[in-house]
A and B are shown apart, each in its own frame.
Chain A
């Protein structure tokens, strides 16, 4: 069967790609579009390393088919920094040493950004629940939660 021809928007750029039905959005991002910031951890929606925004919703790109995203809006970790200028979350993750191996980090950043856009002043409890679908095997989470809380303060100041 012929491949699907998909036209979509990724990080504000209009793009098109070809994909097989079986290919997930994560496969397309990494292997076809060479946007390798989104990671494959579990490939079953449990770890959140592949988190992206789809039409403004946080989703696991491993649980979306590439052929589903035609005409929709995809945002990935690659769209987070503005040129050389890091997003406040990225800056705070560095300052708080909220990463070690770094595999989970893009997913945590995308998920945290989604939280702070909706909830500019989250409690620690809200952060921990919102990020329950992002697994980190290195940090023990406390540094991540502190970084998100600190980034929220920065972002509220604008």
Chain B
């Protein structure tokens, strides 16, 4: 097994594009190293992207925020202004694993691991985040909801790597929130996850919303019907009911030891409503 840590995107892309056997990108390693140990993956080539500056930076860009794919959860937690602008994205990233895992785990890795239960992904999708990919043909942007195609299946082409995410500019009175259900208080994988982002006008009416659900289908879902259910409302009881119904209608969950189909569908409605209420409260304070 070969290990390379190129310092440029071009270098990383060339290595991955030229790989003859299985090649893996290493960011935080909190999924990859576990999967290697369990013989789930056996790469011939590991390309560590952490020496590439673009993957490690959090910068303001065109009024929004660009977050490198290899920025860790612990680094996001310490970024006060990012947290102020996108509290839902940061709290979702911070739910992944333990303090030790937070020291290594990255947003890019969470997405590219290809799990429908990835905590940061519903928050990123609700945020309207765009993933910037670099490949042999150059760079391209893809909405986060289009990156994952199914469990362990990504839209990335051979030689492509995820470089960074762009979170769009935030209008005034906007905020977001992420909630998940797990059977304990920490250190577990989401049975259901819900991310909601809202913008309200001066009168408190929701003018824009995005809703995303994790762990209730083969991929993390963007649920435009749920967003439509609350736009134009002030999230009164009737709007909350419409939101719950729309969220539940989008679910196509599996039935497993961590949650039955019925439970996941029910909880998806509850969490979506609660996340929307938190996002709304935060938006009012902005």
Bound CA–CA A46/B33 (angstroms): 13
User: Is A90 part of the contact surface with B, judged by Cβ < 8 Å?
Assistant: no
Given A1-B2, A45-B30, A45-B97, A54:B103 Cβ within 8 A: yes
Task: Find chain B residues with CB under 8 A from A104 CB.
Answer: none
Interface residues in B, total, Cβ within 8 A: 28
Given A4-B3, A64-B29, A133-B97, A57:B34 Cβ within 8 A: no
- Candidates B36, B50, B187; contact of A132 at CB < 8 Å: B187
Task: Find chain A residues with CB under 8 A from B72 CB.
Answer: 57
- Check if B37 sits within 8 Å of A48, measured CB to CB: no
Task: Find chain B residues with CB under 8 A from A62 CB.
Answer: 33
Of A63, A65, A130, which is in contact with the most chain B CB atoms at under 10 Å from its CB? Answer: A63
Interface residues in A, total, Cβ within 8 A: 32
- Check if A68 sits within 8 Å of B48, measured CB to CB: yes
Q: Which residue of B lies closest to A20 (CB)?
A: B1
Given A129-B186, A132-B186, A133-B187, A60:B101 Cβ within 8 A: yes
CB-CB contacts of B61-103 with A at 8 A, as 1s and 0s?
A: 0000000000010100000000000000000000001111101
Q: How many contacts A-B (CB < 8 Å)? A: 85
Task: Find chain B residues with CB under 8 A from A58 CB.
Answer: 99-100, 103
- Check if A65 sits within 8 Å of B3, measured CB to CB: yes
Interface of A is mostly: mixed
User: Is B278 part of the contact surface with A, judged by Cβ < 8 Å?
Assistant: no
Given A44-B37, A63-B33, A21:B46 Cβ within 8 A: yes
Given A21-B3, A24-B33, A129-B186, A59:B26 Cβ within 8 A: no
Of A1, A22, A133, A134, which is in contact with the most chain B CB atoms at under 10 Å from its CB? Answer: A133
Given A1-B2, A22-B1, A132-B186, A48:B98 Cβ within 8 A: yes
Which A residues fall within an 8 A CB radius of B? 1, 4, 20-22, 24, 43-46, 48, 51, 54, 57-60, 62-65, 67-68, 111, 114-115, 129-134
Which B residues fall within an 8 A CB radius of A? 1-3, 5, 26, 28-30, 33-34, 36-38, 46, 48, 50, 72, 74, 97-101, 103-104, 185-187
Residue contacts A-B, CB under 8 angstroms, 6 given: A45-B33, A60-B101, A64-B33, A115-B99, A132-B98, A134-B98
List the 4 closest A-B pairs by CB distance, nearest first: A133-B98, A57-B103, A21-B3, A59-B103
